[in-house]
Structure 1
Amino acid sequence: MKFWTSLILVLGVLLIPSPSQGAFFSNERDIATHLDANYEPSGVVWNDRLQTLFLVSDSGFVTQMDIDGNIVSTSKRSLGLDLEGITIVDQAGEYRDKLYLLVEFPQRIVEFDVNTWTLTGRSWSLTNMSGSGAKGAEALTYNLDTGEFYVGSQLDGQIYVYNIDLSAPAGPGTTVAPAYDSPISTGIGRDLAGLHYAAETKTTYAIFDDTGRGPKIREYDDYNNFNSFLEYDLPGHAQEGVTLLPGCPNNSTTIIIAQDSGEVMRYASYPIVCPAAEPEPEPQPDPQPAIVDQDEDGSPVEVDCDDTRANVNPSMVEVRNDGLDNDCNPATADWVRVYTSANIIPYTTTEVRDDYHVFDSKWEFSYVSLPAQPVAGWYTFDLEARATSLDNLYNLGINVRNAQGRDTQTRVVGSLNFENYRFYHYIPANTPTQVRFISGVRGIDSTGAKREHHLRAVTVTRVEEAVSPLPAPQVVSLSTREGLNKVVLIYDTDIESSATLMMNDVLHTNTDITTSKTWTFRNLTCGTQYSYELKLYSDLYNPVFDNAGVYTGSFTTANCTR
């Protein structure tokens, strides 16, 4: 339980003596001139998002008007309810188009949709609240900071707090009990007629149309145990509803009082107490950034292209063949090179737009060249490319060509969209090699569409250490019975390739482009050593191409058993 129980006893003592009616109430205007003569306003709320007022009447009508009283919309017929209060729970979120209306007796809250201008069918019956008949629920507001409905009783002048889960289903049979054991005492034991909670000042405003001392408006500070700290005399009579427009930081605002005698009174310059503005922070000098040099090579991270390696910084001399940009200068040559569209040389005239290559002839292509005398071994080619054409008809062709003008590997790459694509190729020692990228197989088709590909980057890396020397093939099956000696050799590699195996002057081919190779030999001689020569080809096996890695090995069959 919160502090409400003890408040019933002490609020009257905490009340600051009230000033008389303020001069601000003299600046008044009745804006109800466009309402029907029989309209009895019983509740009012300001919608800041729509910049309009919403009113309800005792006879069940809902009306929308601007701040000058011009009617925006109104009910064509009564809702058939004795409406005494109205509030808004959300200006901009899920419930921004909903109004919540208070029915005097039996006490309940009903939901109203301003788009359809009808009740939604959702309602909540309020239990354990005093009053009945014409002395039931009379005032309604919503505390935006606590998410609670404040409901005022005309009979005993107290505020009953309800915590309603608006996300849960609700209907005619839905009931909700007060959130606390006891209601909040206002210090006036009767005729509570209107409530308004202002989130900007954390203040609850309550109006009483009969206190024994005339109509009053009281202000309660929610920050200080709901203490009443100001009270003013109200002009007029039969006050039923109250709402305030936002006013901070000006410390004054417009207040609207609905009177069920037919008036909607607008008063300017009503005083409010705005929270003190937060002082501007003193400007602080920018702290000096700490020098970061993770590898402690004397070059800070701002200029060091790899702050995890002490042998990489702008003061270093480029080291060949180590795969590192030692001097942090990509223009310095190294065996591992990154080619981008900026330095890929078109073979013939091309139109270069950003990273795009657009071709006018079917024989045009872009290419990258390896160093003039590459080290022998396997190389990886990592592409970032969009392998389509302007008319989406053709894929990206890749040809690897050696110095003799022979294509030692040909493949087609389709449906790439800059995801990484890798392929391997074996390059013999001192063999200049060129990798060509071709869009489609034709130039301009009958529709006149050009071929293109978007080649963002090509990274060429020598990976000899990853595949050489070749481990011995695995012997997975061995039969030693005389006349039935059999050996199965399996070789696994990370490289997709075709292969040949030469044994006893007999060539065995495996032309599938796979990473696993299998050879089975039967009827071998027992206790005999067999030598073999294994070649891995970058592409489909072709004996005229010198594009293979060559490895030799041997195995010995077991002695035969009878």
Structure 2
Amino acid sequence: MKRIFLTVIFGILLLGLVSASWPEDSEGTELVSVLPSPYEPSGLAWDSESQKLYTISDEGIITRMNLDGSNVENWYVSGDLEGIAVVSGKVYIGIEYPFTMKEFDTSTGAFTGKSWTFSDVVGTSKMGMEGIAVAATSSGLRVYAGSQSDGKVSVYDIDPSVSESMSYVGSFTPSTGSLSDLSYDAQTGRLYALYDNKLYEMDSDGNVLAKYTVDGSDQEGVVVVSNCPSSTGSIVIASDTPASILSYSGFAVTCPVVEVVQEEEVVVIDPNLVDSFSISKGVVSVLYQDGHSNSFTPKRYGKIQAVLSSDATKLIV
């Protein structure tokens, strides 16, 4: 049987910490003018499914809009909002104190009643949980909760269908500075942590891959909008004093790909281990452990067979 090896490629290997340059579009496009006044931005998120940008004001406003600032929608809720994440159409809001994440339903404009309390986060009512990032997994969600007080990021696995159903995974501290936001890019598998004007790019385990110096001051939110397989995307930075949401183009991203080596065929995937696969009418469909899927057609004729490698990183077709 002819074998075609599918290998996950993450682009450039980063040996040690890289001080990376800021995007080509160094001026940025201001979006805050489309928001209600007063508005104190305190977090950002991107929904790749709906292609919508989300932001929050810590005075209780949740906002959704296009990346260019058009089609703005606002919801008014209670609580000190300090983090936001969107996964599979679900919106999750981080509350500074007590350290809680709540599920929000945009169709009703209200919280659903589901919440998760992060008792391992260190802080106070004024220096509490300052950012959340959420990644889909095969068993639920992985949540990163950042503390403004000590800069530590606490990691949890949660069951999104049940309030308070969660387990503590561990923690890491990219910087001891004042953490102001977290975000996770599902397309690249990269985690971003914002500490004032320093931005840390990490893998999902918290290993720092690059560090950026961010323009402006009093930064409160960050989100990266990848456009894989393009090697550049957009990055959006929110500040609260003065209120600002700047969108920059030309931000360098590393898009993982699967390369069918012998057939010279390249297929874009997510950087996750394979959960399962199926073959139907010459098409190989792959489900990854974070819930995303992909499919491709090998450039060959005859019966197609596939075997998963022992480390779940390759399909041998």
Question: One fold, TM greater than 0.5?
Answer: yes
Aligned-residue offset at 1:248 = 1.1
Residues 504-533 of structure 1 show CA distances to partners (whole Å, capped at 9, x for unaligned) of xxxxxxxxxxxxxxxxxxxxxxxxxxxxxx
Quick check: 142-151 or 55-64, which moved more? 142-151
Q: C-alpha offsets along residues 158-209 of structure 1, whole Å, 9 cap, x if unaligned?
A: 11112221222x3xxx485x513x41121x1121111111122221111111
| TM-superposed deviation, 1:102 | 0.3
TM-score, normalised via structure 1 length: 0.42
Deviation at 1:71, TM superposition (A): 4.3
Contact 1:126 1:175 in 2 (8 A): no
Whether the 8 Å contact between 1:207 and 1:242 is mirrored in structure 2 is yes
Matching residue of 1:68? 68
Contact preservation (8 Å) 2:47, 2:87: no
Equivalent in the alignment of 2:17: 16
| 1:270 paired residue among 232, 238, 251 | 251
Contact 1:25 1:235 in 2 (8 A): no
Task: Tell me whether 1:226 sits opposite 2:224 in the alignment.
Answer: no
Aligned with 2:144 (options 140, 150, 157): 150
Identify the match of residue 93 of structure 2 among 91, 101, 107. 101
Asked if the contact 2:65/2:73 (under 8 Å) is kept, the reply is yes
Structure 1 pair 52–89 and aligned structure 2 pair: CA distance change class (3 A): closer
Alignment of 1:320-331 (within 5 A): none
Which residue matches 1:216?
A: 198
Q: CA RMSD in A?
A: 2.1
Out of 119, 122, 140, which is 1:127 matched to? Answer: 119
**Is 2:223–2:236's contact at 8 Å kept on the other side of the alignment?**
yes
Whole-angstrom CA distance in 1 between matches of 2:188 and 2:154: 21
Distance 2:39 2:233 in 1: 26
How many aligned residue pairs are there? 251
2:274 — aligned with what? none
More off after superposition, 21-30 vs 53-62? 21-30
Mapped pair 1:184 → 2:172: yes
Is the contact between residue 218 and residue 228 of structure 1 (CA under 8 Å) also seen in structure 2? yes
1:462 maps to which residue?
none
Q: Is residue 279 of structure 1 aligned with residue 260 of structure 2?
A: yes
AA aligned to 2:161 is S
Evaluate the alpha carbon distance shift between residue 207 and residue 25 of structure 1 in structure 2; reply closer, same or farther with a 3 A threshold: farther
CA contact (8 A) 1:27 1:267 kept: yes
1:221: how far off? 2.1
The residue type paired with residue 224 of structure 2 is L
Point out 4+ residue stretches in structure 1 off by more than 4 angstroms: 283-287
Unaligned runs of 5+ in 2: 1-14, 264-298, 304-317
Cα contact 1:110–1:121 (8 A) shared by 2: yes
Give, in angstroms, the shift of residue 31 of structure 1. 1.0
CA contact (8 A) 1:34 1:71 kept: no
Residue 248 of structure 2 aligns to a residue whose secondary structure is: strand
Q: CA separation of 1:44/1:281 partners in 2, compared to 1, >3 Å: closer, same or farther?
A: same
1:307 — aligned with what? Answer: none
Report if the CA contact (8 A) 2:19-2:212 is conserved. yes
Q: Indicate the SS of the match to 2:34.
A: coil
Larger Rg: 1
Name the SS of the counterpart of 1:179 in structure 2: strand
Residue by residue, what CA displacement relative to the aligned partner does 1:199-248 show, whole Å, maximum 9, x if unpaired? 22221111111xxxxx11111123xx532111111001111111122321
Contact 1:29–1:266 (8 Å) recurs in 2: yes
Relative contact order, higher structure (CA 8 A, sep 6+): 2
| Structure 1 unaligned spans of 5+ | 1-13, 91-95, 210-214, 288-562
Counterpart-to-counterpart distance in 2, 1:51 and 1:199: 13
Alpha-carbon distance in structure 2 between the residues aligned to 1:22 and 1:109: 31
| Cα distance in 2 between the residues matched to 1:23 and 1:115 | 35
SS in 2 for 1:163: strand
Counterpart-to-counterpart distance in 2, 1:160 and 1:250: 31
Match of 2:47 in 1: 47
Is the CA contact 1:197–1:203 (under 8 Å) kept in the aligned structure 2?
yes
Distance (Å, rounded) in 1 between the aligned partners of 2:219 and 2:185: 19
- Residue 26 of structure 2 aligns with an amino acid whose one-letter code is S
Once the two structures are TM-superposed, the CA of residue 145 in structure 1 deviates from its matched residue by 3.9
Share of identical aligned residues, percent? 32
Q: Give the partner amino acid of 2:171.
A: P
Name the SS for the 1:26 alignment partner: coil
Deviation at 1:263, TM superposition (A): 0.8
Q: TM-score, normalised by structure 2?
A: 0.73
Q: Deviations over 1:11-37 (max 9, x none)?
A: xxx851424x42525141111111123
Contact (CA 8 Å) 1:194, 1:242: kept in 2 or not?
A: yes
Q: Deviations over 1:74-106 (max 9, x none)?
A: 12x4x220000001122xxxxx2x311000011
Q: Secondary structure at the match of 1:33?
A: helix
Distance 1:123 1:285, change over 3 A: closer
Counterpart CA distance in 1 for 2:135 and 2:187 is 11
Q: Which residue of structure 2 aligns with residue 58 of structure 1?
A: 58
- Kindly provide the amino acid, as one letter, of the partner of residue 105 in structure 1: Y
Asked whether the 8 Å contact 2:234–2:249 carries over to 1, the reply is yes
